[in-house]
Structure 1
Amino acid sequence: MAFQANGIEIELTRGDITQQDDIDAIVNAANAELRIGGGVAGAIHRAAGPELEAETAPLAPIKPGEAVMTSAPNLPNRHIIHCLGPVYGVDEPADTLLANCYRGALDLAEEAGLESVAFPAISTGAFGFPMERAAEVASRAVLAKTGELESVRRVRWVLFSDEDRMLHEGVFESIFNA
């Protein structure tokens, strides 16, 4: 499913974030040390290989809400944007920190002149952020940024399951079609 906002295409799909060969930058739901972990971070680091950890080590640690960018070794993308989402119930204000991840990633993509970015559902796995609330925060943050974007023309969410994709579709319909 796709939405339009200020000339930016917003897409939702179920899939593997490491297999987005038509996207300039994928976003890693990173840990503070920017190392291999579980979930999205584990999948990206395994696909990218040890070159990625060597590149991220000097950039760590990062704080909740922060984003940094590296190359994307062994992946079909030009870059990986690493965002540390908030741990729900620990890092506050959680909504603001989560929104900062999406805004920061788009800022880095824009600064690099990238045309497309793919996000996972940041903080919704081991970090415990409720999926529906995270979708609301993420979609509102991206919608607010669309009027400022010049190079980024496409934003994609790559979601783990059909249930996650359908939940995001419902939330996005209410926000992007309001």
Structure 2
Amino acid sequence: MMSPMTVITLVRGSITDQQVDAIVNAANSSLLGGGGVDGAIHRQGGPEILDACRALRASHYGKGLPTGQAVATTAGKLDAQWVIHTVGPVWSGRDDRSALLASCYREALKVAAGLGAKTVAFPAVSTGIFGWPMDDGARIAIRTVKESATAPVEEVRFVLFDEYAFGEFAEALAAQG
């Protein structure tokens, strides 16, 4: 259950512009950068993030970060202390992968809490090139954060890149009270 002190806010813009303790990256399993949110975070954060990801690959995650898991690195030049990388599932019309998507949010919040982060910015995980329908992705994200957020996390901020995503998250937030 969400801590009574945890507030969910929605922001339209770029996640790389957020001033928070932790920025969540919708990473690919290689942890070595990519497109979309992942590419933007690596570009804005600079080489320190890539260096930290390479160190993770050389030690704990030789085969890459598994889908639904999360791990933290430095935030480099971003206005945050940490980047929490999580690998979302690719959407499938045949297989229900919603538990894996929920796990991304839950595990990222666990990592954030373990770091002592009070403010956490999330993108809409898996809704870009991984093809997850925005309305369903928003519903899963909001529900999971409401069920999972705990102290010391005081604010979970969903940073949505366009009006469509913002509208879908606003509807999901209103529907879930």
**Aligned residue number for residue 157 of structure 2:** 156
Point out the more displaced range, 87-96 or 132-141: 87-96
Q: CA deviation at 1:7?
A: 2.4
Instruction: Provide the secondary structure at the position in 2 that maps to 1:151.
Output: coil
* Corresponding residue for residue 25 of structure 1: 22
Question: What's the CA shift for 1:136?
Answer: 0.8
In the alignment, structure 1 residue 46 sits paired with structure 2 residue 47:
no
Give 2:27's aligned amino acid: A
Matched residue, 2:171: 170
Kindly state the Cα deviation for residue 91 of structure 1 after the two structures are TM-superposed.
Answer: 10
Q: For 1:16, give the aligned amino acid.
A: S
- Residues 10-36 of structure 1 show CA distances to partners (whole Å, capped at 9, x for unaligned) of 000101101112x10000000000112
TM value normalised by structure 1? 0.91
SS of 1:109's partner is: helix
- Deviation sequence 1:96-136 (CA, Å, 0-9, x none): 00000000010011011110100000000000011000111
Classify 1:127/1:7 alpha carbon distance in 2 versus 1 (closer, same or farther; 3 Å): same
Distance 1:42 1:124 in 2: 15
- 8 Å contact kept, 1:64–1:91: no
Give, in angstroms, the shift of residue 59 of structure 1.
2.1
Shift of 1:162: 1.4
State the identity %.
42
Whole-Å separation in 1 of the counterparts to 2:21 and 2:9: 14
2:110 aligned partner: 107
What are the within-5 Å matches in structure 2 for residues 3-22 of structure 1? Answer: 6-21=4-19
The answer to whether the Cα contact below 8 Å between 1:69 and 1:108 also exists between their aligned partners in 2 is yes
For 2:39, the aligned partner's letter is G
Give how far 1:93 is off: 4.2
Report the residue type matching 1:17 in the other structure: I
Query: Is contact 1:20–1:76 with CA below 8 Å preserved after alignment?
Result: yes
Cα distance in 1, alignment partners of residues 94 and 157 from structure 2: 26
Q: Distance in 1 between matches of 2:6 and 2:173?
A: 14
Q: Give the number of aligned pairs.
A: 170
SS in 2 for 1:10: strand
TM-score of the pair, normalised by structure 2: 0.91
1:90: Cα distance to partner? 8.5
In 2: Cα distance, 1:164 partner to 1:144 partner:
21
User: Equivalent residue of 1:33, what SS?
Assistant: coil
**Is the Cα–Cα contact under 8 Å of residues 65 and 100 in structure 1 kept in the other structure?**
yes
For structure 2, the 5+ residue unaligned runs are 58-63
Q: Please, which runs of 5 or more residues in structure 1 have no aligned partner? A: none
- Is 1:135 aligned to residue 133 of structure 2? no
**Relative contact order (alpha carbons < 8 A, sep ≥ 6): 1 or 2 greater?**
2
Task: Give the root-mean-square deviation of aligned CA atoms.
Answer: 1.6
Distance (Å, rounded) in 2 between the aligned partners of 1:91 and 1:29:
23
